[in-house]
Amino acid sequence: MIIQRVVLNSRPGKNGVPVAENFQLEQSTIADTIQAGQVRVRTLYLSVDPYMRCRMNEDTGSDYLLPWQLSEVADGGGIGVVEESKHDDLARGDFVTSFNWPWQTVAILDGSLLQKLVPQLVNGRLSYFLGAAGITGLTALLGIKEKGHVTVGAKQTMVVSGAAGACGSLAGQIGRLEGCSRVVGIAGTDEKCSILVKEMGFDAAINYKKGNVAEQLRELCPGGVDVYFDNVGGDISDTVISQMNQNSHIILCGQISQYNKDVPYPPPLPPDIEKIRKERNITRERFLVLNYMDKQEASVLQLCQWIQEGKLKVRETVVEGLANIG
């Protein structure tokens, strides 16, 4: 059977910015028959995520991320429908997902490595299982629960950087649902800030490209910051940390401003900011959602419930066609 697939064509270099030419769309073939335990699936959705920048390097800098290999098919979170099955638990027409879904139109996969999906849990929006009800939503929910120390009634203020992104927009809403009394987002355009306040229920949002972020933070968080959901690192995070309270908590989700630089993860803070962090006993611990997979099922059900109840608003960017994935 002839299929299309996307392979890693070249590496951008540890300090380089990825370009479309780093990938290549090509024709390939898969077997016409499947073996016992296998399924043939047609790809419906693939998730393109910030962590994949690390997989473009020969050394990902992480012991849990394997590098993509040159001239080999890329992979990541994906959803598809079973077209043929020789696995006892999966049948034609079932919707399935995997963290290691190949970037190709049709694939033959080991059925035991796939998870069956129930579309009704997300009101039929299958793609949500790669976002709000998938690893993105899990990262936001488990990050807040495990590292945020949010307490109902404690009148905590949460700040979210990269707040208009897939994870940040969920984190702000979940922070509120878990008990924060004030949620402030930081994003890069007026439009994004408006969406955060009008659609996502944030109390306020700061356009970091306009005005003085430190001054705006002081105005919008007069009692200081108790919980910081950090998606970006760099100067913005330094500014937020300088206004955090004693015994407050940083949820170290991502450091996207640093991903095109050859620095350790998590990147060290500047000496003056690290001094503040230590003096105020601010926690800043590496957070990896894969370490909490024992809580995955219950957490996904909670996310789905919030989606069904309309308590969790979801925005997606969906691009059609494998040729447009790079």
- The pLDDT value given to residue 153: 92
Please, are residues 175 and 183 in contact by the beta-carbon 8 Å criterion? Answer: yes
- The pLDDT value given to residue 37: 97
Tokens of 155: 């009148």
Please, are residues 53 and 13 in contact by the beta-carbon 8 Å criterion? Answer: no
- The pLDDT value given to residue 320: 92
- The pLDDT value given to residue 260: 47
Please, are residues 163 and 195 in contact by the beta-carbon 8 Å criterion? Answer: no
Radius of gyration of the chain (CA): 21
Q: Which domains does the chain have, with CATH numbers?
A: 2-117 (3.90.180.10), 135-289 (3.40.50.720)
Please, are residues 230 and 252 in contact by the beta-carbon 8 Å criterion? Answer: yes
Query: What's the CA gap between 102 and 118, in Å, rounded?
Result: 22
- The pLDDT value given to residue 179: 96
* Secondary structure (3-state) at 123: coil
Distances (CA, A) of 73 to 9, 134, 158, 184, 290: 10, 23, 40, 40, 23
- The pLDDT value given to residue 259: 46
Residue 189 has a CB neighbour count (10 Å cut-off) of 13
Please, are residues 240 and 225 in contact by the beta-carbon 8 Å criterion? Answer: yes
Amino acid at 130: L
Q: Which of 120, 151, 129, 154 is nearest to 45 (CA)?
A: 129
- The pLDDT value given to residue 256: 60
Q: Which residues contact 211 (CB under 8 A, 6 or more apart)?
A: none
For residue 6, list its beta bridge partners.
Answer: 25
Tokens of 162: 């990269």
Tell me the residue ranges of DSSP E strands in 117-164.
Answer: 157-161
- The pLDDT value given to residue 215: 97
The secondary structure of 21-56 as a DSSP string is GGEEEEEEE--SS--TTEEEEEEEEE---TTHHHHT
DSSP state of 145: I
- The pLDDT value given to residue 64: 80
Tokens of 10: 């070249």
Residues of the chain with pLDDT under 50: 257, 259-261
- The pLDDT value given to residue 22: 95
Residue with tokens 């590292």: 147
Query: What's the CA gap between 17 and 11, in Å, rounded?
Result: 10
Q: Which residues contact 143 (CB under 8 A, 6 or more apart)?
A: 171, 229, 251, 253, 287, 289
pTM: 0.88
Amino acid at 316: E
Please, are residues 325 and 103 in contact by the beta-carbon 8 Å criterion? Answer: yes
Strand 95-102 vs strand 106-110: parallel, antiparallel, or unpaired? unpaired
Cis ω for the linkage preceding 12 (within 30 of 0): no
Please, are residues 80 and 3 in contact by the beta-carbon 8 Å criterion? Answer: no
Please, are residues 106 and 3 in contact by the beta-carbon 8 Å criterion? Answer: yes
